[in-house]
Amino acid sequence: MSVTREAVLAALSKIEDPFTKSDIVAAGIVRALTLEEGKVRFVLEIDGSRASAMEPVRAEAQAAVEALPGVVSVSALMTAHAQQKAPPELTARRSEPQGPQKIPGVNHIIAIASGKGGVGKSTVAANIAAALAAEGRRVGLLDADVYGPSQPRMLGISGRPASPDGKTILPLRNHGVTLMSIGLLTREDEAVVWRGPMLMGALQQMMNQVQWGALDVLIVDLPPGTGDVQMTLTQKAHVDGAVIVSTPQDVALLDARKGIDMFRKMNTPILGMIENMSTHICSNCGHEEHVFGHGGVQAEAAKLGVPLLAEIPLHLDIRLAGDGGAPIVVSKPDSPQAQAFRKVARALMDKGVA
Ligand SMILES: Nc1ncnc2c1ncn2[C@@H]1O[C@H](COP(=O)(O)OP(=O)(O)OP(=O)(O)O)[C@@H](O)[C@H]1O
């Protein structure tokens, strides 16, 4: 028989949180507990400065659950809050500094967003980042797509980032782009369930505890939709603007409109829209076909009064390049597809945001 949620919580409640002296369940640090056919996953949400002190607690929690009958595997991760937690007996949290802040050393932040998943937002983000690097800009890429981090694969980066002092994280680098991705902190085959407060903690950690160095621009690859990550980013960081990626299909456009609306409510300028998978060019014969329609994003951009930054074709080379770890801007810099991305990069530089 598979283990029950109650049994897992009972085992975890025997472990003491050394900081609050209550058990880790009562202390509220056990989050995102999921059980699936004996596979147990949970996260300990802790103060970032206590990571090394809490590691034995994490190990003890993992071992306690592993010892339960019916448990097949256990994944126990730690995620950090950027700020101190109030002691549990206090109901009010100490207020934190309000309003968007600059990330030290980072001149500009550009968010790449889409209303719908799978429209090519990550592909666009990787290519814009590599194109800006090719223009000589100092570029960072923050992969905040917690539901499907794909930037390590697209930029050909693997391995875990180092943290020499246990507090800050050293990002990795390829194709002139400094990358930090939530995908580099989790195992590639491991699904991570992120809940609201954890998402906010993880995003703030990636913005503030990563040693980005001096950057002209940080590109943020957002998850699709209008959720906690988008809200946290625009509330906590000074974002220069958002680029909205959509396919020409009506359904994708509807979602893109919601995204634009959200950014406007958060006072984040819309830098423009990109129509991806605009037209299909056959790699054999060069025949052009409008698989998802064509021109829908241009019409929408005109209606909303935002610039259309590019129409990127659906082209096999773009996918192969992304899957192969060298975006098309790097692998085939002279191709028309790469040139379309270079044009977007130059437009962003001309606007003074990159
Ligand atoms: N213009 C294009 N031509 C060919 N393939 C493309 C193009 N744009 C994206 N793709 C491919 O489509 C797939 C989805 O793209 P991508 O991961 O960039 O989308 P996404 O919007 O970031 O998705 P998600 O929201 O799920 O993270 C990838 O395999 C990518 O290589």
Whether the Cβ atoms of residue 160 and residue 169 lie closer than 8 Å to each other: no
Instruction: Please give the backbone phi and psi of residue 90, each rounded to the nearest 5 degrees, phi first.
Output: -90, 135
| Tokens, residue 315 | 């082209």
Report the separation in Å between the CA atom of 124 and the middle of ligand 1, taken as the mean of its atom positions.
8
Exposure string over 65-103, b if 16+ CB within 10 A, otherwise e: beebeebeebbbbbbbbbbebeeeeeeeeeeeeeeeeeb
| pLDDT single digits (tens) 296-344 | 899 999 998 999 999 999 999 999 999 999 999 999 999 999 999 999 9
For residue 193, the model assigns a pLDDT of 59
Angle at 161 between CA 56 and CA 31, to 5 degrees: 45
pLDDT of 86: 38
Q: Please, are residues 96 and 205 in contact by the beta-carbon 8 Å criterion? A: no
- Sign of the C-alpha dihedral computed for residues 31, 36, 37 and 39 taken in this order: negative
Ligand 1, residue 223: give the atom nearest the CA.
25
Contact 1, 70 (CB under 8 A): yes
Q: Which of 114, 116, 122 best tests ligand 1's pocket when mutated (most atoms within 8 Å of CB)?
A: 122
- d(CA 58, CA 64) in angstroms, rounded, equals 10
Residue minimizing CA distance to atom 6 of ligand 1: 319
Mean pLDDT, the chain, as a whole number?
Answer: 86
- The pLDDT assigned to 195 comes to 63
From the CA of 308, how far away is ligand 1's center (Å)?
Answer: 19
Q: Whose CA is nearest to atom 5 of ligand 1?
A: 319
Distance of CA 194 from the midpoint of ligand 1 (Å): 22
Q: C-alpha distances in angstroms, 253 versus 114, 305, 310?
A: 9, 15, 15
Distance in Å, CA 34 to ligand 1 centroid: 29
Protein residue with its CA nearest to atom 19 in ligand 1: 120
Lowest mean pLDDT among 75-89, 97-111, 143-157, 181-195: 75-89
Taking the CA of residue 126 as reference, the ligand 1 atom at the shortest distance is: 18
CA dist 2 and 72 (Å) reads 8
Measured from the Cα of 316, ligand 1's closest atom is 4
Of ligand 1's listed atoms, the one at least distance from the Cα of 317 is 4
Ligand 1 centre to CA of 322 (Å) is 8
Q: Can you list the pairs that 169-172 forms with residues at least 24 positions away whose Cβ atoms lie under 8 Å?
A: 169/205, 169/206, 169/209, 169/210, 169/211, 170/210, 170/211, 171/140, 171/210, 171/211, 171/212
Q: How far is CA 81 from CA 52, 148, 201, 206, in A?
A: 14, 22, 5, 11
Alpha helices in the chain (DSSP H): 5-12, 51-66, 121-134, 151-154, 196-208, 228-236, 250-265, 296-304, 316-323, 328-331, 336-350
Residue 146 clears pLDDT 80, i.e. is over it: no
Does residue 191 carry a pLDDT above 70? no
CA distance 324 to 305: 37
C-alpha 329 to ligand 1 mean position (Å):
15
Who lines ligand 1 at CB under 6 A? 114, 117-123, 145, 148, 150, 224, 276-277, 312, 314-315, 318-319, 322
* DSSP label at residue 50: G
Annotated binding-site members for ATP: 115-122
pLDDT at 14 over 50: yes
Instruction: Identify the residue with better confidence: 92 or 113.
Output: 113
Mutate which of 319, 323, 329, 337 for ligand 1? The one with the most ligand atoms within 8 Å of its CB, which is: 319
Take atom 1 of ligand 1 and give the residue whose Cα is closest: 314
- H and E: helices and strands count for the chain: 11, 12
Given ligand 1 and candidates 114, 123, 288, 314, which is best to mutate, with the most ligand atoms within 8 Å of its CB? 123
C-alpha–C-alpha distance, residues 195 and 32, integer Å: 6
Closest CA to 46 of 29, 60, 32, 58: 29
The confidence score (pLDDT) of residue 192 equals 59
Q: Which residues sit in the known binding site?
A: 115-122
Which domains does the chain possess? 5-81 (3.30.300.130), 106-350 (3.40.50.300)
Query: DSSP letters of 163-189?
Result: -TTSSSB--EEETTEEEEEGGGTS-TT
- 195 Cα to the center of ligand 1, angstroms: 25
0.80 exceeded by the pTM?
no
**Is the separation of the CB atoms in 60 and 18 below 8 Å?**
no
Using the mean position of ligand 1's atoms as its centre, give its distance from the Cα of residue 246 in Å: 11
- Say yes or no to pLDDT of 49 above 90: no
With cut-offs at 50, 70 and 90, classify the pLDDT of residue 214.
very high
**With contact defined as beta carbons under 8 Å apart, do 335 and 302 qualify?**
no
Minimal-distance CA residue to ligand 1 atom 16: 120
